[in-house]
């Protein structure tokens, strides 16, 4: 649009701003904002709205202006320090110029003014109540608006103001349809007379405006708003290119989800799962990668509010027409509308993962290998989606081949009829778990045990608590109740020649060991489930597994606290325990050393030994005794029991 228009010779009419407008302008001009660049987003959004309204009008009104290209042109003049934004939209007549720029006929005006004056001073509030135009005065000392309505009988007018208490309106001739805004930039806003600066702002906030935006003749918004198109119209290559743009990526995504809903909210979303999780490489915490839009206009880049933190690995776009165009960051955090969008999109993504796991399990296992940790984090932190997340968990178990995974649902399908609980046990790896004492009783009863091998896993199981009505129970609990063995299984698995200490001997030995071990154990008792191991540590506290305690200590949360007292269970059939009962009668001093070593060995198997020095020294004494062939020769006479 040519700005050198011929205005009417008669002087323009000067009018006072409405009182509310004066207040807004005073706040906008005199407050210090850190994001003045937002003004351009507001003006472009207004232009896009005017173009959209014209497009709609042209479909129903045969009397509109002759066709002009629907576009937004921006001209930067470094020398004159001006910025001109022109659209070929629906335009405004004199009355509309006065109504739209000189008054605020909006029911939310008082609320808006209250929020601006209560100390919030968030620039994103500008425009929340339809007053985005006034953001121009953050950077301009004078603003001139030339506009002609789409109605062919309109003559066109020029509106001018310096942001003070008044504005002027003059008739003008020779104006084409649409609106042109000339900003005479303030001295401290010279940066906005730089075309490259303007292009960067447009690419950040207005890349997906549905009309061409040209800066000094160069098209800037060249990427399509792919999420607004039908899936049937988009090729895989287009999806990949869009992912590279929004995700700052160089490869293809692992998964994508493209959907839109009308109820309960109008939402369009296009989300991608990358192929790599850079957090696992120790490269720091991933920043959220989903941008929030309203009608293709950026509301918040890399939004920390629109999705839960545990979905921070996702890249893409969420667009909701129900959001106010310029909802503030504070309002985003407090908005019930944003929480609803968060819930709807999260549920839809979890459903997509569930469908992927069912239809292409290999792809889901790849996803789980890289991003399963984030879902576990969700179980621990997000009560609202815990049940859905539980269906997506994957673990190895005593019935899977090494490296193969199973779900909790599959576990339920294999459960014995009489089984009431889902069992799990933690270990550093599969070999350590299967060599340990905790699954012996389960193996003997053909009961499946899930292997949790990630430090967070026991916290996940503890927070999940149950699945499909079955409680999740750690195999290191002291109060665990297992089904009785069938008689034929007892006859088959327990040789008659295998004898155990009688009840009195076992009770007496347990009491003696408790005396030797003191406060290091809460109780020593006969085990009902040990088979091939002499002893094991169990947790009297059903809410804290050994691995959970170990992780908390490693994180420093219990670094200054002693390990909570555990129960020591002993196997009255094991040769070491039977030999210890005899040894304490013949050489109690050495028997005490053996008892302490049994406890430390059990602690190691539970992953709870913190200070190995004493255990190593004791081990050498026991080995010296074993190779010496002479009772007591390896232990100095003045050596006192620990």
Give the pLDDT score at 131: 58
Q: Going by C-beta distance under 8 Å and a sequence separation of 6 or more, which residues neighbour residue 336?
A: none
Q: Give the burial class of 636: count Cβ atoms within 10 A of its Cβ; 0-12 exposed, 13-18 middle, 19 or more buried.
A: exposed
Question: Which secondary-structure segment (H or E) carries 76?
Answer: strand 72-77
Partner residues linked to 289 by β-bridges: 315
Residue with tokens 């042209």: 58
pLDDT of residue 36: 85
Cα 230 to the center of its chain, rounded Å: 27
3-state helix, strand, coil in the chain (%, to 5): 45, 20, 40
Residue whose tokens read 């730089």 = 194
For the sheet with 255-261, list strands across it: 255-261, 267-273, 315-320, 289-294, 297-300
Summarize the confidence of residues 593-602 as an average pLDDT. Answer: 94
pLDDT per residue over 210-268, tens digit each? 899 999 999 998 888 999 999 999 999 999 999 999 998 888 999 999 999 998 889 99
Residue 633 confidence (pLDDT): 46
DSSP for 363-407?
HHHHHHHHHHHHHHHHHHH-GGGHHHHHHH--BEETTSPTT--B-
- For the chain, give the mean pLDDT: 84
Within the chain, all domains assigned CATH 3.30.565.10 are found at 6-219
Q: Which fold has domain 6-219?
A: Heat Shock Protein 90 (3.30.565)
Comparing 257-261, 320-324, 381-385, 558-562, the range with the smallest average pLDDT is 558-562
| Structure-model confidence comparison of residues 364 and 498, the more confident one | 364
Query: H or E element: which one contains 566?
Result: strand 566-570
Looking at residue 411, what is its pLDDT? 97
605: pLDDT strictly greater than 80: yes
Residue 547 in 3-state DSSP?
helix
Residue 12 has a pLDDT of 76
Using DSSP bridges, classify how beta strands 421-426 and 470-474 pair: parallel, antiparallel or unpaired: parallel
Structure confidence by residue, pLDDT tens digits, 83-136: 999 999 999 999 888 888 876 544 344 454 455 555 554 444 444 434 578 889
pLDDT at 140: 93
Structure tokens at 265: 């909210």
- Structure tokens of 404? 């193969």
In whole angstroms, give the CA distance from residue 178 to residue 26: 28
Class of domain 226-359: alpha beta
Instruction: Please say whether the beta carbons of 622 and 573 come within 8 A.
Output: no
Q: Which residues of 192-203 are buried (b: 16+ CB within 10 A; e: fewer)?
A: bbebeebbebbe
pLDDT at position 118, please? 56
Query: For residue 105, what pLDDT is reported?
Result: 44
pTM: 0.76
Long-range contacts of 253-257 (CB under 8 A, 24+ apart): 253/315, 254/363, 254/366, 254/367, 254/370, 255/352, 255/356, 255/363, 255/367, 257/348, 257/349, 257/352
Cα–Cα distance, 75 to 245 (Å, whole number) = 26
Structural element, H or E, at residue 59: helix 38-60
What does the pLDDT average to over 523-541?
A: 90
C-alpha angle 532-536-540 in degrees, rounded to nearest 5:
140
Lowest-confidence segment of 174-183, 401-410, 538-547, 577-586 by average pLDDT: 538-547
Matching CATH number, 501-628, of 3.20.20.140, 3.40.720.10, 1.20.120.790, 3.40.50.300: 1.20.120.790
Q: What is the pLDDT of residues 438-480, one digit of tens each?
A: 999 999 989 999 999 998 999 999 999 999 999 999 998 888 8
CATH of 393-494, one of 3.40.50.11260, 3.90.10.10, 3.40.50.11690, 3.40.50.300: 3.40.50.11260
Alpha-carbon separation of residue 119 from 34, 133, 345 (angstroms): 14, 22, 33
pLDDT at 49: 86
Position 4 scores a pLDDT of 45
φ, ψ of residue 130 in degrees (nearest 5): 80, 25
The pLDDT of 514-530, averaged and rounded, is: 92
Which helix (H) or strand (E) is 508 found in, with range? Answer: helix 503-517
Residue ranges matching CATH 3.40.50.11260 in the chain: 393-494
Least confident of 23-27, 124-128, 146-150, 391-395: 124-128
CATH 1.20.120.790 domain range(s) in the chain: 501-628
Instruction: Take residue 255 and report the two structure tokens written for it.
Output: 């998964």
**Planar angle of CA 68, 71, 72, nearest 5 degrees:** 130
Inform me whether the pLDDT recorded for 34 exceeds 60. no
Task: Report the alpha-carbon distance of residue 402 to residue 176 in Å, rounded.
Answer: 74
Residues of the chain with CATH 3.30.230.80: 226-359
Highest mean pLDDT among 42-56, 104-118, 256-270, 489-503 belongs to 256-270
In this prediction, residue 634 has a pLDDT band, given cuts at 50, 70 and 90, of very low
């Amino acid at each position: 649009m040519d700005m050198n228009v011929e205005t009417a010779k008669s002087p323009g009419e000067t009018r006072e701003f409405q009182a509310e407008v004066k207040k807004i302008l005073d706040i906008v001009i005199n407050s210090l904002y850190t994001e003045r660049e937002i003004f351009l987003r507001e003006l472009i959004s207004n232009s896009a709205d005017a173009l959209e309204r014209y497009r709609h009008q042209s479909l129903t009104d045969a009397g509109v202006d002759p066709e002009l290209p629907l576009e937004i042109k921006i001209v930067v003049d470094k020398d004159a320090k001006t910025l001109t934004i022109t659209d070929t939209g629906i335009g405004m007549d004199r009355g509309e110029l006065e109504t739209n720029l000189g008054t605020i006929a909006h029911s939310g005006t008082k609320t808006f003014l209250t929020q601006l004056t209560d100390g919030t001073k968030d620039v994103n509030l500008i425009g929340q109540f339809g007053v985005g135009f006034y953001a121009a005065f953050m950077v301009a000392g004078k603003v001139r608006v030339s506009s002609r309505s789409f109605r062919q009988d309109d003559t066109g007018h020029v509106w001018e103001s310096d942001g003070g208490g008044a504005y002027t309106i003059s008739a003008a001739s020779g104006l084409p349809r649409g609106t042109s805004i000339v900003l005479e930039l303030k001295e401290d806003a010279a940066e906005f007379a730089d075309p490259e600066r303007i292009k960067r702002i447009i690419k950040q906030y207005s890349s997906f405006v549905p009309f061409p935006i040209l800066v000094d003749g160069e098209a800037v918004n060249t990427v399509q708003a792919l999420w607004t198109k039908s899936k049937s119209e988009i090729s895989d290559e287009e999806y990949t290119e869009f992912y590279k743009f929004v995700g700052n990526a160089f490869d293809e995504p692992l998964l994508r989800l493209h959907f839109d809903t009308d109820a309960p909210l109008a939402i369009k979303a296009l989300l991608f799962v990358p192929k790599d999780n850079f957090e696992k490489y120790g490269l720091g915490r991933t920043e959220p990668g989903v941008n929030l839009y309203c009608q293709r206009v950026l509301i918040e880049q890399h939004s920390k509010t629109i999705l839960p933190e545990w979905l921070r690995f996702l890249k893409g776009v969420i667009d909701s027409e129900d959001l106010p165009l310029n909802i503030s960051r504070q309002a985003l955090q407090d908005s019930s509308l944003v929480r609803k969008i968060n819930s709807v999109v999260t549920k839809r993504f979890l459903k997509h993962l569930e469908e992927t796991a069912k239809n292409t399990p290999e792809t889901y296992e790849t996803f789980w290998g890289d991003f399963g940790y984030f879902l576990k984090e969700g179980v621990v932190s997000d009560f609202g989606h815990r049940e859905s997340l539980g269906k997506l968990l994957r673990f190895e178990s005593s019935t899977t081949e090494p490296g193969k995974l199973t779900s909790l649902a599959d576990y339920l399908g294999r459960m014995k009829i009489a089984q009431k609980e889902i069992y799990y046990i933690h270990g550093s790896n599969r070999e350590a778990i299967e060599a340990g004492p905790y699954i012996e009783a389960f193996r003997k009863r053909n009961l499946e045990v899930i292997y949790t091998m990630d430090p967070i896993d026991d916290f996940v199981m503890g927070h999940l608590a149950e699945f499909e009505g079955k409680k999740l129970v750690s195999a290191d609990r002291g109060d665990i109740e297992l089904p009785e063995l069938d008689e034929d299984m007892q006859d088959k698995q327990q040789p008659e020649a295998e004898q155990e200490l009688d009840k009195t001997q076992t009770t007496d030995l347990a009491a003696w060991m408790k005396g030797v071990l003191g406060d290091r154990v809460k109780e020593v008792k006969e085990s009902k489930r040990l088979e091939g191991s002499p002893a094991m540590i169990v947790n009297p506290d059903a809410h804290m597994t050994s691995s959970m305690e170990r992780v908390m200590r490693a994180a420093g949360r219990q670094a200054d606290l002693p390990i909570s007292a555990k129960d020591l269970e002993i196997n009255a059939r094991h040769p070491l325990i039977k030999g210890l009962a005899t040894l304490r009668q013949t050489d109690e001093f050495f028997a005490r050393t053996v008892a302490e070593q049994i406890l430390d060995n059990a602690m190691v198997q539970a992953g709870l030994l913190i200070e190995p020095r004493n255990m190593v020294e004791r081990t050498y004494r026991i080995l010296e005794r074993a190779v010496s062939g002479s009772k007591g020769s390896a232990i100095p006479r003045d050596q006192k029991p620990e």
